[in-house]
Structure 1
């Protein structure tokens, strides 16, 4: 084979890889509006009001005959969706790896989630049970789809490209979340001008997120390609039955890679801290600092916008210092942010915006680089299986942080003590990650070691 032919093949391979990467970015662009507009901003308060309108004189609703306080219905629905996702993800991951056909699974999960989100347009009156079912379907589908989406990373990017590719994906997601949230907030705050009620404005915002999710999912489905499974099977017949057996095998297999498990443990700990800061920051702002709802929504938008630059900026830092060192640096930054949050004065939105800016700058990068670093630790041919464990660490295990936050507040009566208690997750996560020899972990997984990691 001539040198020119080799160069042509390499150029064609690089062009194909870049095409897939551009398509891959667009799934983050498609689905992130669900996390931002639906789950973070609009659905919780709206579904709670719908549940309250259906509640009895004591403030309880009765799904399936079970008495549930209306104010807890949203939280319980989210918890049920996480449990469902934790059960489903390993099975789908094993089946996707075995058949080598991730795209059909990704399409099914994405469009089930998008359809459930669009269906939230019909959530009015006292239809709290419909809202709970749609939330469970959408949130579980989002988790399954993200697991499959993440598992493409080691297949579409060379080791030296992954930090940058992962960072761009997160940046696309935060950019889309910011764009749609701005449009939603305009509709919500000026709903009278548009001739719709506040409730109708919220329902339009919820449904538009589902339509956005479904429309832009077409791009990655057109550009990503399936790869044959390790055994060369491409048939789906009987794939789920071996997947059940392979689930147990995955657990056993991960025990053969203790350094990969060591990273997962570190990620579980510090990511629990990250997720708790995100979920409890608005509570801290409203209850401890006395800030208005409009201030909190602007802070959410600020986090989204700055996370775009943060993800890209930390991706560049990783090219100089390596992903592990950059993540460790971000954990130090998280610790300093919480320490600053403890001293924030009440009734001062400007300082809360400064805190939100700090969160935005480290949020996207710490998430993006964690994903790319883990992709190096996955044995070839087992991407979806291992990323199901990663996604479970991301979504299914983030309960210790809220528990510590709640217990600290219960014991002290102070949200300041509650927020500073979360420093423990970043200190412990730093210590655990620092102990992981990532170069040896990558070699043990059977992957090439990048020059800088």
Structure 2
């Protein structure tokens, strides 16, 4: 079934349900990945470190300050194994919703389990972080693959932007609650560590609770080759066919390569910002929470505002402009003085204004470049670089700190992702790319 044969009221109902998965899982991305788990896991790893500041998982010497970055990087190994398979099986069977439910609730359970991260249990924390990140990646493959099915081509920029806006709204709401609990933990009768662990676990509960809404409203589409016994093996064969098929669409691959590069930089900045603020700039947890809250508030306006810019100037030009701003943000971050929260807030405001829009427009632009019937599989490749799950950016950041011991050197090393991503995207003829996969070309793209 295509969006052209769907009743408009049913399509709007699905779109509204679809928005709520961003509302559900974005709390993990903000409260857990961006704010709490990085500094807290680092403190747990430091408690377990030797006198030289190293921990030794599997006998390998690792600087305690790099554990979080390496865990984020390792999570992509698991994600890369599962995401394409999930996408292939979903497209073959048409049953995205059961796979979405499984991956969402596995991630929510792992996130809730972070409540038990204390003492010197850094390996437990790293393991749960890897599981939660990989589960989020799989769920986002399936979630994003609904976009071409529930929105007409001319609607997708707006629908995608609204999804991000819902996500940032929930992130801001929960961060306010987290801020109240963290700053007033004594009055609530809990320690600072317990307050952090409650914030981590509550994000998992939120994720699980609000996932019920999209699961009730989204519907699976029948496909010609319905899945049954052997669907997994067929999924792998279909995946191999998809990789061969993608070579038939070199312009789609060109965009995907550009996206993989620049979004790797975006997601690494998001996931490592709290570490940079706490360890390099000496900012306290309250400052970090309020800075990320500022990002969430401005990201809602940024996502909607950049959606309007895309309607006037096209998604590609708007994304290119955001990448130039990201490069300036990193340069400014390198020179930020320690112990000066006002400048950190200014940087957070700049991030908020470009964050949501660059992500939402990239998702909607890619949806135009996907052949019909291949949505989940193509979005599995797209998702490999989304939500902080790219391995190269966190690995570069972790190695830079491992070698230099400076988070300033680590943060400036990410400039290459934005510069190269800008150059690669600028070379993609997006109108020709849309036509090449047989999709209608919007008036502005």
TM-score scaled by structure 1? 0.89
Is 1:336 paired with 2:347?
A: no
Could you tell me whether the CA contact under 8 Å between 2:84 and 2:239 is conserved in 1? Answer: yes
- Indicate the residue corresponding to 2:439 in structure 1: 447
Which of 238, 243, 258 in structure 1 is aligned with 2:230? 238
Looking at structure 2, the residues matched to 187 and 208 of structure 1 have their Cα atoms a distance apart, in angstroms, of 12
Structure 2 counterpart SS, 1:393: coil
- Indicate the residue corresponding to 2:372 in structure 1: 380
Offset at 1:127? 4.1
- Indicate the residue corresponding to 2:78 in structure 1: 84
Which of 136, 142, 147 in structure 2 is aligned with 1:142? 136
Which of 333, 337, 350 in structure 1 is aligned with 2:342? 350
Is 1:305 paired with 2:297?
A: yes
- Indicate the residue corresponding to 1:320 in structure 2: 312
Structure 1 counterpart SS, 2:211: helix
Looking at structure 2, the residues matched to 69 and 208 of structure 1 have their Cα atoms a distance apart, in angstroms, of 29
Stretch moving more, 364-373 or 424-433 = 424-433
Number of aligned pairs?
442
- Assess, with a 3 A threshold, how the Cα gap between structure 1 residues 130 and 292 changes in structure 2: closer, same or farther: closer
- Assess, with a 3 A threshold, how the Cα gap between structure 1 residues 203 and 350 changes in structure 2: closer, same or farther: closer
Is 1:104 paired with 2:98?
A: yes
Which of 252, 258, 263 in structure 1 is aligned with 2:255? 263
Offset at 1:67? 6.3
Offset at 1:440? 1.1
Offset at 1:419? 4.5
Is 1:432 paired with 2:424?
A: yes
Looking at structure 2, the residues matched to 192 and 421 of structure 1 have their Cα atoms a distance apart, in angstroms, of 40
- Indicate the residue corresponding to 2:23 in structure 1: 29
- Assess, with a 3 A threshold, how the Cα gap between structure 1 residues 62 and 287 changes in structure 2: closer, same or farther: closer
- Indicate the residue corresponding to 1:4 in structure 2: none
Could you tell me whether the CA contact under 8 Å between 1:275 and 1:398 is conserved in 2? Answer: no
Stretch moving more, 414-423 or 233-242 = 414-423
Structure 1 counterpart SS, 2:7: helix
Offset at 1:399? 1.6
Is 1:17 paired with 2:11?
A: yes
Is 1:130 paired with 2:109?
A: no
Residue deviations 1:389-408, cap 9 Å, x none? 10113355452476279649
Stretch moving more, 362-371 or 12-21 = 12-21
Looking at structure 1, the residues matched to 48 and 77 of structure 2 have their Cα atoms a distance apart, in angstroms, of 25
Residue deviations 1:412-437, cap 9 Å, x none? x8766665554443232222112111
- Indicate the residue corresponding to 1:216 in structure 2: 210
Residue deviations 1:170-220, cap 9 Å, x none? 111111111111111211121110011222222211211111111100000
Structure 2 counterpart SS, 1:235: coil
Which stretches in structure 1 are left out of the alignment for 5+ residues? 1-8
- Indicate the residue corresponding to 2:154 in structure 1: 160
- Assess, with a 3 A threshold, how the Cα gap between structure 1 residues 289 and 136 changes in structure 2: closer, same or farther: closer
Looking at structure 1, the residues matched to 59 and 438 of structure 2 have their Cα atoms a distance apart, in angstroms, of 52
Offset at 1:129? 3.9
Offset at 1:292? 4.0
Offset at 1:60? 6.1
Looking at structure 2, the residues matched to 28 and 45 of structure 1 have their Cα atoms a distance apart, in angstroms, of 24
Could you tell me whether the CA contact under 8 Å between 2:169 and 2:297 is conserved in 1? Answer: yes
Offset at 1:12? 7.1
Alignment of 1:168-183 (within 5 A): 168-183=162-177
* Structure with larger RCO (C-alpha < 8 A, sep 6+): 2
Residue deviations 1:80-127, cap 9 Å, x none? 322101111011110000001100100000011111212222334444
TM-score scaled by structure 2? 0.90
RMSD: 2.8
Looking at structure 2, the residues matched to 347 and 167 of structure 1 have their Cα atoms a distance apart, in angstroms, of 35
Looking at structure 1, the residues matched to 12 and 62 of structure 2 have their Cα atoms a distance apart, in angstroms, of 50
Could you tell me whether the CA contact under 8 Å between 1:408 and 1:418 is conserved in 2? Answer: yes
- Assess, with a 3 A threshold, how the Cα gap between structure 1 residues 268 and 161 changes in structure 2: closer, same or farther: same
Structure 1 counterpart SS, 2:424: helix
Could you tell me whether the CA contact under 8 Å between 1:34 and 1:213 is conserved in 2? Answer: yes
- Indicate the residue corresponding to 2:196 in structure 1: 202
Could you tell me whether the CA contact under 8 Å between 1:276 and 1:402 is conserved in 2? Answer: no
- Assess, with a 3 A threshold, how the Cα gap between structure 1 residues 429 and 401 changes in structure 2: closer, same or farther: farther
